């Protein structure tokens, strides 16, 4: 196997920094799993519907043009989360990996870092501990991460082409110790690439539905957003599997490929925690609960999953308490 063919696969993953600590496939997996802890913990604390509702009341509630303003709130919530994660935090973490490494650049580390296994699928299943409190936040995360996945086409395609250029791995590379790893990398890249193509057509259909609705001057329908959210659940799960296949098997090709410093590792973990707090706080602040805007604000509630029921508001709780008190009073008067 030509060395330049291997280099075309692993060069983007190479990280060598002063005071480096090289990671094995096992320690890479543990490191990537550890980055799931902040989103999981923060989702339990800041992702509950009770916390989101209380934080959203800090902002000024609209009195006029309610539908337009609440539509803006929803857009600001989702686009802000997308911008922070795709542009700000991924760039900062990619820069930390490329610092003090003359053989690597941000343009390489950014894209390979973007296809790492992300935690949204895990958070989604964890939300079923108490769907009433956590499912809305988990579905928002699915929506945003699904949009992020649309920007990964180049890196999946580059890896897929690089491995395909090696020929038939099942025959020509028989006996080569790198063959199983290359086969897994190829499978991961093809999986990510195939689901990107499917996601492109789903996204195109969603955009068409939105444009048609706007041209007909109809009230904004939540159906396109529900479609994308449902598809994102599948898309993100497949990208997570592809990420594990690529990241863990790249380390099998070269035992000293991913060697960040302890400072960079700690900074990335700290940024994972800070970015999760900012993301949850941002989306909670712009959370919409106005009943008049129910068709759009409930995109991530009962309209998506029939078995799901949103947590009652404080007003609804008080109304139920009053009704119960009145019922008890009437029963007592009847008994007298």
Which tens digit of pLDDT belongs to each residue from 97-131? 888 776 778 888 899 999 999 999 999 999 888 88
Confidence check: pLDDT of 164 > 60: yes
**pLDDT for position 255:** 73
The pLDDT score that the predictor gives to residue 331 is 66
Confidence of residue 169 (pLDDT cuts 50, 70, 90): low
Distance of alpha carbon 257 from the chain centroid:
26
Taking the model in full, what pTM does it have? 0.81
- Is the pLDDT at 202 greater than 70? The verdict is yes
Segments of 95-143 assigned E as strands: none
167 in a domain, yes or no? Answer: yes
Q: Which residues have C-beta within 8 Å of that of residue 110, sequence separation ≥ 6?
A: 90, 91, 94
In a domain, 203, yes or no: yes
Is 1 a member of any domain?
no
The region of weakest confidence among 91-95, 112-116, 161-165, 200-204 is 161-165
Query: Residue 317: what pLDDT?
Result: 62
Domain encompassing residue 123: 7-335
Q: Would residue 21 count as lying in a domain? A: yes
- Dist. CA 230–CA 96, nearest whole Å: 34
Instruction: Give the pLDDT confidence score for residue 147 in this predicted structure.
Output: 94
146 membership: H or E segment, kind and range: helix 131-149
Which one has a higher pLDDT value, 225 or 91? Answer: 91
In this predicted structure, what is the pLDDT of residue 332? 65
Least confident range of 128-132, 140-144, 276-280:
128-132
CB neighbourhood size of 106 (10 A): 15
Residue 2: inside a domain, yes or no? no
Residue 153 lies inside a defined structural domain of this protein: yes
Biggest distance spanned by C-alpha atoms of the chain: 95
172: in domain: yes
Query: Residue 221 corresponds to which tokens in the numbers above?
Result: 């329908």
Reply yes or no on whether the pLDDT at 7 is more than 90: no
pLDDT bracket for residue 171 (50, 70, 90): very low
Q: Of the given ranges (19-23, 256-260, 267-271), which has the lowest mean pLDDT?
A: 19-23
SS3 131: helix
- What average pLDDT does the structure give for the chain? 80
| Structural domains counted in the chain | 1
DSSP 175: T
């Amino acid at each position: 196997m030509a060395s330049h063919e291997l280099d075309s696969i692993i060069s983007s993953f190479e990280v060598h920094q002063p005071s480096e600590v090289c990671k094995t496939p096992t320690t890479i997996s543990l490191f990537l799993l550890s980055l799931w802890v902040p989103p999981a913990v923060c989702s339990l604390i800041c992702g509950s519907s009770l916390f989101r509702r209380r934080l959203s009341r800090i902002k000024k509630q609209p009195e006029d043009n309610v539908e337009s303003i609440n539509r803006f709130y929803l857009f600001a919530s989702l686009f802000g989360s997308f911008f922070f994660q795709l542009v700000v935090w991924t760039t900062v973490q990619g820069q930390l990996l490329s610092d003090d490494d003359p053989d690597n650049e941000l343009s390489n580390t950014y894209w390979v870092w973007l296809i790492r296994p992300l935690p949204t699928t895990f958070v989604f299943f964890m939300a079923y501990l108490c769907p009433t409190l956590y499912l809305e936040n988990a579905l928002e995360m699915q929506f945003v991460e699904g949009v992020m996945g649309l920007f990964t086409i180049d890196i999946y395609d580059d890896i897929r082409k690089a491995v395909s250029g090696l020929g038939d791995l099942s025959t020509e590379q028989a006996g080569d110790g790198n063959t199983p790893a290359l086969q897994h990398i190829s499978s991961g890249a093809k999986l990510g690439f195939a689901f990107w193509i499917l996601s492109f057509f789903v996204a195109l259909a969603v955009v068409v539905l939105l444009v048609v609705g706007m041209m007909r001057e109809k009230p904004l329908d939540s159906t396109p957003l529900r479609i994308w959210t449902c598809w994102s659940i599948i898309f993100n799960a497949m990208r997570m599997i592809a990420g594990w296949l690529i990241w863990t098997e790249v380390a099998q090709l070269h035992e000293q490929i991913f060697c960040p410093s302890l400072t960079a590792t700690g900074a990335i973990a700290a940024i994972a925690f800070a970015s999760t707090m900012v993301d949850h706080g941002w989306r909670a602040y712009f959370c919409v609960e106005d009943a008049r805007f129910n068709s759009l604000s409930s995109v991530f509630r009962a309209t998506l999953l029939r078995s799901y029921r949103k947590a009652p508001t404080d007003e609804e709780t008080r109304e139920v308490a009053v009704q119960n008190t009145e019922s008890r009073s009437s029963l007592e008067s009847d008994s007298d």
